[in-house]
Amino acid sequence: MSDHDETPTTNLRSDAGPKIVGQKDGGQRETGPKNSGQKNSGREETPTRLRRELPEEVAPGPTGPSEKTDQEEQPVLTGRQRLVMGLWPPRVTRAQLIVALLLFGLGFGLAVQVASNSDNDSALRGARQTDLVRILDELDDRTQRLEEEKQGLEDQRTELENSSDQAEEARKQTVEKERQLGILAGTVAAEGPGITLTINDTKGAVEADMLLDAIQELRAAGAEAIQVNGVRVVASTYLTDSGKGISVDGNKITQPYRFKVIGKPQDLEPALNIPGGVVQTLEKEQATVIVERADKIIVDALRAAKQPDYARSSSQ
Amino acid sequence: MIAVLGLVVGVVAGLLVRPEVPAVVEPYLPIAVVAALDAVFGGLRAMLDGIFDDKVFVVSFLSNVVVAALIVFLGDKLGVGAQLSTGVVVVLGIRIFSNAAAIRRHVFQA
C-alpha cells in the first residue's frame, strides 16, 4: 500500500510537483522524497499512478499542492465524509468484496495467532531465545543439584540399611550367644546326647562330697549341662549334707539321685567307670549305680539368672 | 462496510475455529499479520485521501505479506531470523504509525 501513502506525501512536499513534471518517470521519485525508502512493495504501481494523476495535477498550476487538486477533483468531500460514505450505504462492489476477502484473511490470521499465542498457556512460548537458554540452564542446575541430593540420600539409605543389617546380625549373634551362655548358666533348657546316672542309696551312705566328686568327674569329662533330681547344676552350685538327704543349692533331695548329663556319652561313661572312680567308690558304700547312655537327654531344670553385685564385665 | 464486516467475520471465525497453526507457517504468521495490517492502514489512508484503488490494495496487501514472510524465511536461513523479523516489525510499525497519523488528521482534522 506504499504508493497510496507515498503519493500524497510526495505531493504535499512543496516542490515534488515540478520534479515529477521534469522527469516524467518514476525512477527519480525514489531519490527525491526523504522517505522513499519505505516504498518497497508497490514500486511498480507508481508510474501508472503518476501518469494518471500528473496531467490533472499539472494542469491547474505548475506548483499547485495536492490538496488543491483534491479539492478541485472532489470539491466537497473531506476524509471524514469519505469514511462515512464508504461505511454507511453498504455497496456490494467488486472492490468491497475483494477487500473484504483480504480483511477476512487478515482477521482470521490475527485471531489464530492471538489464540495460539495466548491459549497455549506456556509462558515459554513467547520467550526469547536467550531467556529460554537461561531457563534451560537454571533447570539443568536444579536437576544437577537434585541429583546430587538424591545420590546423597541414597548413600545414606544404603548406609542405614547396612548398619541395620549389621545390627540385626549382631542381635542374632547376641541371641545365639545368650542361648549358649544360658545353657552354661542354667537359664535355658538344653537337650542333646548324654547319659543318665542313677544312684540308689538305700543305706543312706552317700554323702555330699561323693556327689560332688561325681559332678566334678562329669565336668572333667566334658559334661555341658547337668541336673540332679530337678536341680540344675551350675558354676555356683554347692552341695551339703542335710539329714538323710543332700541339699543342692539349698534344695533338699533324697535318693535315688538321678543325674541327667548332656555331653559326649563315650567320654562320660568311661570317666565314671574308671577303676577307683566314682562308680567304684559309690559301690564301695553299698550304693547301686546305673549309668545309661541316651541319644536324647533333656535338661529342663532352670535357674534364674543372677545379676552379680560386684563383678562387672570388663570386655568393653 | 462489507470490508469491515469481512474483518469482523474473519476474527470471529478465527476465534471459533481455532485451527492448529502448522509448524511450517508458524514463524511467518505474526509477521504476515503485521504486514497485512500495514497494508490495511495504507488502504484506509488512501481511501480517506480519495485515491483508493482496489487493484493496488490487493497487490500491495499480498506482496507485503509475501515479502515479509520471505524476509523472515531468509533471515531464518541466514541465522538472523529473530533480528530480521524485529527489523521488519519495526519498519512496518513505523509505517503503520505514519499512516495512522494521516488517518487521524483526516478523521479528526487534527
Per-residue pLDDT tens for A121-166? 566 666 667 888 998 999 999 999 999 999 999 999 999 999 989 9
Phi, psi of B76, deg, nearest 5: -60, -40
Identify whether residues A179 and A165 lie together within a single domain. yes
Which helix (H) or strand (E) segment holds residue A58: the answer is helix A46-58
pLDDT, tens only, A258-293: 889 999 988 888 888 888 888 888 888 888 888 888
Q: CB-CB: which of A86, A87, A110 is closest to B11? A: A110
Choose one of A185, A208, A226: the last residue of a domain. Answer: A185
Give a yes or no: residue A310 inside a domain. no
Higher-confidence residue of A65 and B61: namely B61
| pLDDT at residue A185 in the model | 84
CB proximity B24 to A under 8 Å:
no
Cβ-Cβ contacts under 8 Å, A77 against chain B: 50
Q: Cell numbers 566334678 label which residue? A: A216
| Cβ atoms of A4 and A50 closer than 8 Å | no
Q: How far is B31 from chain A (nearest CA, A)?
A: 10
Determine whether the interchain pair B50/A73 forms a contact, defined as Cβ–Cβ distance below 8 Å: yes
Identify whether residues A74 and A148 lie together within a single domain. no
Percent of chain B with pLDDT over 90: 14
Residue A50 reports pLDDT greater than 90: no
Higher-confidence residue of A99 and A88: namely A99
Q: CB-CB: which of A87, A88, A106 is closest to B40? A: A106
Residue A240 reports pLDDT greater than 70: yes
| pLDDT at residue A170 in the model | 92
Average pLDDT over residues B79-99: 88
Average pLDDT over residues A58-67: 41
Cα A3 to its chain centre, rounded Å, is: 68
Identify whether residues A38 and A107 lie together within a single domain. no
Give a yes or no: residue A313 inside a domain. no
Q: Which three cell numbers stand for residue A245?
A: 538327704
| pLDDT at residue A42 in the model | 41
Identify the residue among A99, A120, A131, A133 best suited for mutation to test binding to B, counting B beta carbons within 10 A and taking the highest. A99
Residue A23 — pLDDT band, cuts 50, 70, 90? very low
Q: CB-CB: which of B2, B20, B95 is closest to A97? A: B2
Identify whether residues A19 and A72 lie together within a single domain. yes
| pLDDT at residue A126 in the model | 61
The CA distance from A208 to A212, in Å, is 6
Give a yes or no: residue A58 inside a domain. yes
For A130, B2, B28, B78, B81, the CA distances from B91, given in Å and listed in that order, are 23, 29, 16, 20, 15
Give me the residues paired with residue A192 across strands: A297
Q: Which of A3-7, A107-111, A181-185, B34-38 has the lowest mean pLDDT?
A: A3-7
Give a yes or no: residue A315 inside a domain. no
Give me the residues paired with residue A257 across strands: A199
Cβ-Cβ contacts under 8 Å, B87 against chain A: none
Q: CB-CB: which of A7, A100, A106 is closest to B2? A: A100
Choose one of A138, A170, A185: the last residue of a domain. Answer: A185
| pLDDT at residue A162 in the model | 92
Identify whether residues A150 and A161 lie together within a single domain. yes
| pLDDT at residue A25 in the model | 42
- Buried b / exposed e along A22-53 (16+ C-beta atoms within 10 A): eeeebeebeeebeebebbebbbebbeebbeeb
Number of domains in chain A: 4
Identify whether residues A218 and A236 lie together within a single domain. yes
| pLDDT at residue A186 in the model | 83
Identify whether residues A177 and A270 lie together within a single domain. no
Residue A210 reports pLDDT greater than 50: yes
Segments forming the whole domain that contains residue A231: 190-299
Average pLDDT over residues B53-64: 88
Give a yes or no: residue A312 inside a domain. no
Average pLDDT over residues A108-132: 73
Q: Which amino acid is at B92?
A: L
Residue A69 reports pLDDT greater than 70: no
For B10, B11, B52, B92, the CA distances from A100, given in Å and listed in that order, are 9, 12, 14, 22
Average pLDDT over residues A294-298: 89
Residue A33 reports pLDDT greater than 80: no
Percent of chain A with pLDDT over 70: 71
| pLDDT at residue A120 in the model | 54
Residues in A 103-142 with any Cβ partner in B closer than 8 A: 103-113, 115-116, 119, 128-129
Collect all residues with Cβ–Cβ distance below 8 Å to A79 and sequence separation of at least 6.
Answer: B48, B49, B50, B103, B105, B106, B107
CB proximity B57 to A under 8 Å:
yes
Cβ-Cβ contacts under 8 Å, B9 against chain A: 104, 107
Residue B6 reports pLDDT greater than 60: yes
Give me the residues paired with residue A191 across strands: A298
Give a yes or no: residue A306 inside a domain. no
Identify whether residues A74 and A160 lie together within a single domain. no
CB proximity B18 to A under 8 Å:
yes
